[in-house]
Structure 1
């Protein structure tokens, strides 16, 4: 028995035949088998295939060298984009005309380029812009910063923000590249009445989010007629064409792009 205050001697490791120290077995291990050697599941090339393997990666390059070159004559000819192309953003509406944006600012937090600025505000009985309690009072996107990554639309909880196929974004000034809310709102369609107006009677915000609310009801139309008798989206109004007037920034940019098309077509 070791005396108090002294360190017990370390156990001796077993010595294998030939003088080598045998590996010490860990506590709790009972004859663990040695791992099997690695075997590739990809068949190894042989013969001519193995000889040409180092240059096999150039196959795509060599095959395209002999194809006809296609040059898009932009802006004289505009080629349609792919359906899932990430272009200019759009703030969507519900089927009765209320806005989907609730001013939660999640899109601004998700933006890696800090290109989005949002200010939320409370809905009131006299000014109900979206279902629920909040709406986006201020919404700006700086297209000088935007990298069109799509993280903002992934963060949106109500699918209020989506991306269109519009890619012609150009302007002569830096201020003209900052889109405001009126430039981003989607167009009003048949069955919609321009906001603000109350929610459909007897419905909740959850029913709106689930898509259970259809076109504007007679009560909503009557409310707009009482508070805004000259609204162009009323049945007796000027129509959707008069209501869907683009915002000032979007209008100036459209004029600039149209001028570039005219200049390109004159060459």
Structure 2
């Protein structure tokens, strides 16, 4: 293709030529927001139980597993008279540096209390370093269980909806392991309550036949027992 052919493509798009599906390739951001996949990893939130107690117990496992070393946590003993979390300790300091975060979701995997999860929000930008380092006050959900909305974040698109904010799948959740399909695995959360059990991933015909044969033989193999998570 010569360089003039490249200009032809550009002119067609500029003139309003649409794709075969009838949709323009270019979206007018921020007025138009592209839908996010179900497991999209965005900005984190720190969750609370239905009674308002914080889920974070300051164990620092999220900070320890983080490959980018963007999480800083310090725990403190709970006040016996006015505890912050149900455990002996709570997260006194919690910071995430989004100049380093790669949104790998390993912190969510490591958390034993489901305190930290990721929303689908990815439309946020900073003009200074301080704004990029989120503190506990900015990460902790409000009294309605929904995330704090900061001035430099673009929330249009419904990313604070219940299905988009928290409690969605880990690799070890029902969609990753067929043995846990239909089992409620998440604790109740402020503003959302107890969520329905996760569904399983669709299995291809060959894997279904393999599982049926294993079941008929009175046993199973490792590949058939895990519901298609790769």
Q: Tell me how far 1:187 sits from its aligned partner.
A: 2.7
Instruction: Give the superposition deviation at 1:70.
Output: 2.2
Unpaired runs of 5+ in structure 2?
A: 1-18, 156-230
Q: Equivalent residue for 1:115?
A: 70
Q: Distance in 2 between matches of 1:74 and 1:245?
A: 23
Q: Which has the larger radius of gyration?
A: 1
Aligned residues of 2:140 and 2:147 also touching (Cα < 8 A): no
Unpaired runs of 5+ residues, structure 1, are: 1-65, 191-243, 259-267
Q: What pairs up with 1:140-219 in 2 under 5 angstroms?
A: 140-189=95-144
Asked if residue 75 in structure 1 is aligned to residue 30 in structure 2, the reply is: yes
For the residues of structure 1 that align with 2:113 and 2:102, how far apart are their CA atoms? 22
Instruction: Name the SS for the 2:117 alignment partner.
Output: strand
Out of 56, 66, 70, the position equivalent to 1:101 is 56
What does residue 136 of structure 1 align with?
Answer: 91
Question: Aligned-residue CA RMSD in angstroms?
Answer: 2.2
Q: Distance in 2 between matches of 1:149 and 1:245?
A: 20
- Give the corresponding residue for 1:251: 150
Corresponding residue number in structure 2 for 1:14: none
1:67 Cα deviation from its structure 2 partner: 4.8
2:53 is paired with a residue whose SS is coil
Distance 2:83 2:73 in 1: 18
TM-score for both structures, normalised by structure 1: 0.47
Distance change (3 Å), C-alpha of 1:147 and 1:120: same
**Corresponding residue to 2:82 among 90, 108, 127:** 127
Corresponding pairs, count? 135
Q: What secondary structure does 1:100 align onto? A: coil
Structure 1 runs, 4 residues or longer, greater than 6 Å off: none
Aligned mates of 2:42, 2:147 — CA distance in 1? 20
Q: 1:90 aligns to what SS in structure 2? A: strand
Kept after mapping to 1: 8 A contact 2:108/2:116: yes
